[in-house]
Amino acid sequence: MRVALFVTCVNDTLFPGTGRATVRLLERLGCTVEFPLEQTCCGQMHFNTGYRDDARPLARRFTAVFDGYDAVVVPSGSCAAMVREWYPSLGVEPPAGVYELSEFLVDVLKVTDVGAYFPHTVTYHPTCHSLRSLKVGSRPFDLLSQVRGLTLVPLGGADECCGFGGTFSLKNSAVSAAMCADKVRGVLDTGAEVLCAADNSCLMHIGGSLARQRTGVRVVHLAEILASTEEDPA
């Protein structure tokens, strides 16, 4: 199977650790991972802000770069949703086989125990586009519950948006910050050491607030927990 990684521009530029973890995890599970260097960005920021003419060339680039692979793995729910759900409205037919990471692991590789070790108390924020666009459902929980050493604690109000929303966080910063404050309170109420999600943009927003408040709670992408082992801990 030809598996390509679409790392996403946010991970590529700001959170390369998530990309490296995804590669390590997929290779450990027997995949040969390719990273086409012509890839850049799915166009979500432009599309969601209304700039469709700017989003379209990025969508065409994605489609050209990832055409012909059996699977394209995306460690971001919202970028995967952008490609699958919204490319058609730009007049771009998305390539088949674009999977968010947890979908690829559970549905294609058919694994939930990925051999990970992460001895921490973790709570999981499901993120809106994974939850309501992709409908990944229990997949991330099925994966996390098999991680050795990991204690998963439920997050109150988990399915409520954290308030990031891309440019919403700047255009409506007061409401965005108020939503984030409630999410942060929910996270702190769990007593978890680590907040996990499958989207680094949401984690950048919630984590930025957790850090500003000096809470000591770490944010870690799902890929990094699943890649973590005794020898190479996250």
Partner 1 sequence: MSGTFVGMPAFPEASSRAVDDAQLRYNLRKATHTIRARRAAVVGEQPDWAELRAAGAAIKDRTLRHLDVYLERLESAVTAAGGHVHWAEDAAEANRIIVDLVKATGETEVVKVKSMATQEIELNSALAAAGIRAYETDLAELIVQLGDDLPSHILVPAIHRNRAEIREIFTGRMAAWGRPAPENLEDDPRALAEAARLHLRERFLSAKVGISGANFAVAETGTLVVLESEGNGRMCLTLPETLISVVGIEKIVPTWRDLEVFMQLLPRSSTGERMNPYTSTWTGATEGQDFHLVLVDNGRTSVLADRVGRQALRCIRCSACLNVCPVYERAGGHAYGSVYPGPIGAILTPQLHGIAGPLEESLPYASTLCGACYEVCPVAIDIPEVLLDLRAKVVTKGHRGERLAMGAARRVLDNPKWLAMAQRSAGRLRRWAPRRLPGPLSAWSDTREVPVPPRESFRDWWVRRPNQEGDR
Q: Figure out which of the listed residues 6, 11, 26, 83 binds partner 1, where binding follows CB under 8 A.
A: 11
Taking the C-alpha atoms of residue 199 and residue 70, their distance in angstroms, rounded to an integer, is 23
Query: Binding to partner 1 by residue 186, rule CB under 8 A?
Result: no
**CB 104 → partner 1: shortest distance, Å?**
17
Q: How many residues does the chain have?
A: 234
What 3-state DSSP class applies to 143?
A: helix
Question: How far, rounded to the nearest angstrom, does the alpha carbon of residue 19 sit from its chain's CA centroid?
Answer: 10
Question: 86 is written with which tokens?
Answer: 């919204």
**CB 108 → partner 1: shortest distance, Å?**
19
What 3-state DSSP class applies to 162?
A: coil
Q: Which range, of 55-63, 142-150, 187-195, 223-231, touches partner 1 by CB under 8 A? A: 55-63
**CB 205 → partner 1: shortest distance, Å?**
6
Q: Which range, of 53-61, 105-113, 117-125, 185-193, touches partner 1 by CB under 8 A? A: 53-61
Question: How far, rounded to the nearest angstrom, does the alpha carbon of residue 137 sit from its chain's CA centroid?
Answer: 14
What residues from 120 to 149 belong to the interface with partner 1 (CB under 8 A)? 128-129, 131-133
* Strand stretches in the chain, DSSP E: 3-5, 33-34, 71-74, 98-100, 121-124, 151-152, 194-197, 218-221
Q: Figure out which of the listed residues 24, 120, 139, 205 binds partner 1, where binding follows CB under 8 A.
A: 205
Q: Which range, of 13-21, 94-102, 191-199, 226-234, touches partner 1 by CB under 8 A? A: 13-21
Reported as type and span, the H/E element at residue 62 is helix 52-66
**Which is nearest to 194 in space by CA: 175, 229, 220?**
220
Query: Binding to partner 1 by residue 63, rule CB under 8 A?
Result: no
Task: By CB under 8 A, name the binding residues for partner 1.
Answer: 7, 9, 11-17, 19-20, 23, 32-41, 45-52, 54-55, 57-58, 61, 86, 89, 128-129, 131-133, 159-161, 163-180, 204-205, 207-209, 211-212
